Amino acid sequence: MKYRKLGKSGLEVSAIGLGCMGMSHGYGAVSDTNEMINLIRKAYELGVTFFDTAEVYGPYINEELVGEALKPLRDKVVIATKFGIQMKDGKQLLDSHPETIRRSVEGSLKRLRTDRIDLYYQHRVDENVPIEEVAGTVQDLIREGKVLHWGLSEAGIQTIRRAHAILPLTAIQSEYSMFWRQPEGDLLPVLEELGIGLVPFSPLGKGFLTGQITKDTRFSKDDFRSIVPRFTSENLEANQVIVEFIRKIASQKDITLPQVALSWLMAQKPWIASIPGSRSLKHLKDNIGAADVEYTSEEMAVINKKLSEIVLAGERYPEELAKRVGR
């Protein structure tokens, strides 16, 4: 495994982290708890030190899972979690009022079985609460030792600048992959300018870039992809072109499709650390293997040129959820 520092913060993490959401939220049936605890601990044995969860995953049960798994390893790992999305009557509500953040941090600390959160993200920007007020609340939590670093998830450029001016951000979490390259146009230049790290989620395009999803794949109602426009049968078929391109690269370099996608991300900037999810040891090992893949500048130029020529079909979020990002 290789290790990286997120921006100028000094926070060192494994180049390939582990997104734990899918173990108990968003991707179909909840996995067996003991199996996932063992998988998380195995990830650490294989070099992973960066683990991502959130209060709303479950809700709550994903943090409990991560807390139980990492309790014996607490001082050797970086735990990231998130605040700002509350559940009410089965629906998600954005709430980053100071009193809500304080309730959230106490709940997360308890569930994660720890006395501090290494990296605390605002999960989505709450337009009802100025980001300066959010930053001030987190600053107080840092002074109290309950939070060590903070970040934002799916925030807009101006919000990032305003937040960073009050309390320097360690990382921004954003979807970014061969399947979604929009951050290259606006986000990456600003993060480089400000010295902020990037933590891409869905680096495998919600599983699409693994080559295991076809036009005939069907998703259950408890699988988030069942409502994502990019995952309709028609769009899945149209987007196979990028999978075939990745398959070609994998063959040339004698690696797997996920390793192509993850190593490509690593090659973009030295301050990027992605958090692919996994519920099997086989896939976990495969993802970790991406840390050893390297590209020449010529290879990257050819790959990026080809990617720019591929037109992908379908939006990455349904309309209602799309309104909550980039604010």
Q: What pLDDT, in 10s, does the model give residues 46-99?
A: 999 999 999 999 999 999 999 999 999 999 999 999 999 999 999 999 999 999
Q: What is the pLDDT of residues 170-213, one digit of tens each?
A: 999 999 999 999 999 999 999 999 999 999 999 999 999 999 99
Share of the chain above pLDDT 70, in %: 100
Residue extents of the structural domains in the chain: 3-206+268-293
| pLDDT tens column, 8-50 | 999 999 999 999 999 999 999 999 999 999 999 999 999 999 9
* 96 conformational bin, left if phi > 0, alpha if psi -120 to 50, beta if neither: alpha
Helix 98-111 to helix 61-70 angle, to the nearest 10 degrees? 50
- Tally of CB atoms within 10 A around 313: 14
Q: Tell me the pLDDT band of 264, cut-offs 50, 70 and 90.
A: very high
pLDDT at 87: 94
pTM, rounded to two decimals: 0.97
Q: Using CA atoms in the order 256, 258, 261, 267, what is the torsion angle rounded to 10 degrees?
A: -70
CB 121 within 8 A of CB 173: yes
CA torsion angle for 239, 228, 152, 10 (degrees, to 10)? Answer: -40
Residues 3, 27, 44, 57: which is the catalytic one? 57
Q: Is 44 a catalytic residue?
A: no
Looking at residue 18, its pLDDT comes to 98
Backbone angles phi, psi at 193, to 5 degrees: -60, -45
DSSP string, 10-42: --EEESB-EE-GGGTSSBSSPPPHHHHHHHHHH
Q: What is the pLDDT of residues 272-304, one digit of tens each?
A: 999 999 999 999 999 999 999 999 999 999 999
In this structure, CATH architecture of domain 3-206+268-293: Alpha-Beta Barrel (3.20)
The candidate with the shortest Cα–Cα distance to 107, out of 87, 126, 132, 134, is 87
Give the model's pLDDT for residue 146: 98
Using a pLDDT cut of 90, give the percent of the chain over it: 98
Beta bridge partners, 12, equal 5
Report the candidate in 117, 57, 110, 112 with the shortest Cα–Cα distance to residue 87. 57
Asked whether the beta carbons of 156 and 326 are under 8 A apart, the reply is: yes
* Helices vs strands, H then E, count in the chain: 12, 11
Q: Where does the pLDDT of residue 157 fall: very low under 50, low under 70, confident under 90, or very high at 90 and above?
A: very high
